[in-house]
Amino acid sequence: MTAAQSHLDTPTTAELVARAEALRPLLAANAAGGERDRRVAEESIRALTDAGLFKLAVPKRYGGYETSLRTLLEISAAVAEADGGTSWVVTVINGSAWLAGLFPGRAQDEVFGTDPEARVSGVISPTAETRKVDGGWRVTGKWFYNSGSWHATWAVLGIPVTDADGTVVDQGAALIPAAQMDLQDTWFVAGMRSSGSNCLIAEDVFVPEYRVLRVPAALIGTYPTEHADEALYRSALMPFLSLILAGPQLGLGRAALAYVLEESASKPISYTFFSTQRESPGFQLQIAEAARLIDTAHLHAFRAADAVDDAAARGQYPDFLARARARSDTGYVAECITRAIDILLTAHGAGSFAEASPLQRIWRDSATAARHAIVSPPVSYEVYGKALLGVTDSITPMV
């Protein structure tokens, strides 16, 4: 594929959003079944695949769209308006494909070169043991909360990097084919049930050195990919991986607001003289506050994404303060959306919690996703506050 052909074949963000919006009726119809089965329905996965929505962060060299962080947020949000769990799977698989794009070309060829429809999941916590051998490592470990694991063909998984004596000398992320691992069905949760965030298990799997990304180096922008001309794969590591998790929240907030607004025209306020909620000044104030919080979440998410994309386009790696602000923005998106949904639940009334109401699933999905460790608002705010003050005793390297 030539560069000119690649450019012509790449849809715009607006076109990709339109594809996601066109799938909403199908994704929404399959949402309850996905929650019951604790995995996204295969019909939905096929439709998302056919629409190209798992190729957003795949390099154009392999027929992917190689879009931008901003585009990923907009697609995830559009999908989440239909179903939060499906959006989470779309988000994580695209984010993990982006991670795969940081590896050496030889590793990328193995993932995408032989299978243009390859899907990657990921957990970067190094919950494994490794043994150094000729040409790489033997890896044994368990990685929990591997979202989209039912649908992934590869996984990027955190490992300790050891030397010949068994001493841990670095931290890494290993690309491992799903076929070389077992999947343990462990995802029994209150929210994001259809994300299928199960446990992957490797038993003495050989991982060659070229399929191991050194995480500390990557945190400061040193990536082993030879394709330095590809702007997307110059994006800052943790701002990218944290901000993508804001996308589903944006769509869940919009879905909750739209539902409450629609219902307010016919739903009375019990034990009052209001025949419809929309007549009530109290209800009007609640709606305004919730909408303002959702708008605020979008402003922070898109500002942060645009900053990451702009820096990558210029070939500049953001400094620590800019990266800390991106992490803070991610936490603030989660805080704003969860507050907005709480207000909407109260405004709509006790009927919000009926099993037939989409609001209860939106609430559970958003609340669960907002507690992801990388999203955690208190941790994110502390990281940013320390950076603003020049306090050097960092609480995490993941910035």
Q: What is the DSSP string of 23-89?
A: THHHHHHTHHHHHHHTS--HHHHHHHHHTTTT-TTS-GGGT-----HHHHHHHHHHHHTT-HHHHHH
Terminal C-alpha separation, the chain: 36
- pLDDT at site 6: 46
DSSP conformation letters of 328-340: HHHHHHHHHHHHH
- φ/ψ (deg, to 5) at 11: -70, 155
Distance CA 392, CA 37 (A): 46
Q: Are 239 and 197 in contact (CB under 8 A)?
A: no
Q: Which amino acid is residue 286, in one-letter code?
A: Q
Partnered with residue 108 across adjacent β-strands are: none
Contacts of residue 94, defined as CB under 8 A and 6 or more positions apart, other chains included, come to 53, 54, 56, 57, 72, 75, 76, 244
The dihedral through the CA atoms of 299, 300, 303, 309 has a sign that is negative
Distance CA 247, CA 78 (A): 9
| 97-126 exposure pattern, b = at least 16 Cβ within 10 A, e = fewer | bbbbbbbbbebbebbbeeeeebbbbbbbeb
Question: What domains are defined for the chain?
Answer: 3-117 (1.10.540.10), 120-216 (2.40.110.10), 237-389 (1.20.140.10)
- pLDDT at site 116: 87
Distance CA 83, CA 95 (A): 18
Q: Are 248 and 77 in contact (CB under 8 A)?
A: yes
Distance CA 179, CA 186 (A): 18
Q: Are 34 and 40 in contact (CB under 8 A)?
A: yes
Strand-strand pairing, 154-162 and 212-214: unpaired
- pLDDT at site 142: 97
Question: Rg for the chain (alpha carbons), in Å?
Answer: 21
Residue whose tokens read 């962080």 = 69
Distance CA 219, CA 171 (A): 11
- φ/ψ (deg, to 5) at 359: -60, -40
Inter-CA distances, 375 with 77, 239, 397, Å = 16, 11, 14
Q: Which amino acid is residue 377, in one-letter code?
A: P
- pLDDT at site 60: 97
Cβ count within 10 A of residue 168: 13
Distance CA 47, CA 214 (A): 35
Burial of 179: CB neighbours in 10 Å, binned 0-12, 13-18, 19+: exposed
Burial of 244: CB neighbours in 10 Å, binned 0-12, 13-18, 19+: buried
- Write down the pTM of the prediction: 0.95
Burial of 170: CB neighbours in 10 Å, binned 0-12, 13-18, 19+: middle
Map residue 374 onto helix, strand or coil: coil
Residue whose tokens read 């605020």 = 296
- pLDDT at site 1: 46
**Residue-level pLDDT, tens digit, the chain, 399 residues:** 444 344 457 899 999 999 999 999 999 999 999 999 999 999 999 999 999 999 999 999 999 999 999 999 999 999 999 999 999 999 999 999 999 999 999 999 999 998 989 999 999 999 999 999 999 999 999 999 999 999 999 999 999 999 999 999 999 999 999 999 999 999 999 999 999 999 999 999 999 999 999 999 999 999 999 999 999 999 999 999 999 999 999 999 999 999 999 999 999 999 999 999 999 999 999 999 999 999 999 999 999 999 999 999 999 999 999 999 999 999 999 999 999 999 999 999 999 999 999 999 999 999 999 999 999 999 999 999 999 999 998 899 999
